[in-house]
Amino acid sequence: MVVENSREKETGTDNDTETCSECGSSDIHVDYTRGETICSNCGIVISARNIDQGPEWRAFTNEERNKRSRVGSPSTFTVHDKGLSTMIDWHDKDAYGKKLTPKRRAQIYRLRKWQIRTRVHSSMDRNLAFAMSELDRLSSQLGIPRGVKETAAVLYRRAIEKKLIRGRSIEAMIAAAVYAACRERKVPRTLDEIARHSRVNRKELGRCYRLILRELDIIIPQSSPIDFIPRFGTELVLSGRTQRKAAEIVTLARDKGITAGKDPTGLAAAAIYISAILEGERRTQREIAEVAHVTEVTVRNRYKELVKELNIRVEV
DNA sequence: AAGACGAAAGTGGTTGA
DNA sequence: TCAACAACTTTCGTCTT
């Protein structure tokens, strides 16, 4: 009864949408920008409080438009329950602000208890809840794009299903999942970088990474120096031309077979060094070594090899 | 003085017995 | 499990611009 009363008040003019209440005309249109329903015949505003039933947010593609409907936030893998669980809040009031009867209150209390127990207190979800907050922290510190983060979350979920987490630290496994996701999506971060921002050492991280690859049957192609070039290039403020040239050099070197077993970051650094000189955007070995996290000596050694093997003339 | 270069010794990880 | 090994780093002295 309460329900119907309040509905009456809210939308009293609702039944008039077919014909105009003033002149009886059925020539009615809706002005979406003003949110008004107007009779085209006599000009009277029939309803000034239309409810927009369209999507909540701005959307730029069809896919987005479908995803971003009014039914809750988009599902995501980066929240332990994919953002889908129901919440029961702690106010003992019903939807209209009325106090609940004691009997009802007791029932809600029990519901709430089990709601929470089943949601967070199952061991897997507790694990996930912690892991996802760690993932949040790590990826924001490393500046990892959202898509890669999702990939890492999916990998971690699969690792849990395979029971790989038991007896290993959650932090290490999350870090390894992040590293694997980066490799897979070709936004390379080195093991060192990830280890620096998490509390696991590189050795442990590498072990977990290999475990994930093996147990989840993931094949990740060896990271190519080319993947690092855009990132280093950006940090060194180099033109796209120079970066493309560096990629060319790397490709040539690979065809010559002198890249095997060499540190890809070092190779990328050397290729950038050469192409920067060739394109008149010279950077010092020191600068390049710094962004690539290798030493000048390594840059120098790779550089010497490349110049020799590819017969590149570098003007001094 | 800064950058480039090279030699020598040290380090951490892989490989093969 | 251990030694051999290749790649990379650190350190330092010298040369070039």
What 3-state DSSP class applies to A71?
coil
In this complex, the answer to whether residue A262 has its CB under 7 A from any atom of chain B, a nucleic strand, is no
Q: Which CATH number fits domain A2-47: 3.40.50.300, 2.30.130.10, 3.40.50.720, 2.20.25.10?
A: 2.20.25.10
pLDDT in tens, A244-277: 999 999 999 888 888 877 888 999 999 999 999 9
| Domain range list for chain A | 2-47, 85-121, 124-215, 225-310
| The two domains A2-47 and A225-310 share their CATH topology (first three levels equal) | no
In this complex, the answer to whether residue A296 has its CB under 7 A from any atom of chain B, a nucleic strand, is yes
- Predicted pLDDT at A223: 80
Sequence-distant (≥ 6) Cβ neighbours of residue A119 within 8 angstroms: A81, A85, A125
User: Band of the pLDDT at A14, cuts 50, 70, 90?
Assistant: very low
* A62 CA to B7 C1' distance (Å): 63
- Predicted pLDDT at A106: 83
Q: Which CATH number fits domain A124-215: 1.10.472.10, 3.40.350.10, 1.20.1050.90, 2.60.40.1250?
A: 1.10.472.10
Sequence-distant (≥ 6) Cβ neighbours of residue A188 within 8 angstroms: A182, A223, A227, A228, A231
What 3-state DSSP class applies to A283?
coil
Judged against a pLDDT cut of 60, whether residue A52 lies above it is answered with no
By CB neighbour count within 10 A (0-12 exposed, 13-18 middle, 19+ buried), where does A146 fall?
exposed
Chain B nucleotides covered by protein, CB below 7 Å: 2-8, 13-14
According to the CATH classification, is domain A225-310 in 1.10.472.10? yes
By CB neighbour count within 10 A (0-12 exposed, 13-18 middle, 19+ buried), where does A242 fall?
buried
User: Band of the pLDDT at A84, cuts 50, 70, 90?
Assistant: low
Nucleotide nearest to A292 (CA to C1'): C8
Q: For residues A152 and A131, what is the distance between their CA atoms, to the nearest angstrom? A: 11
**How many CA atoms, within 13 angstroms, populate the side-chain half-sphere of residue A170?**
17
- Predicted pLDDT at A55: 47
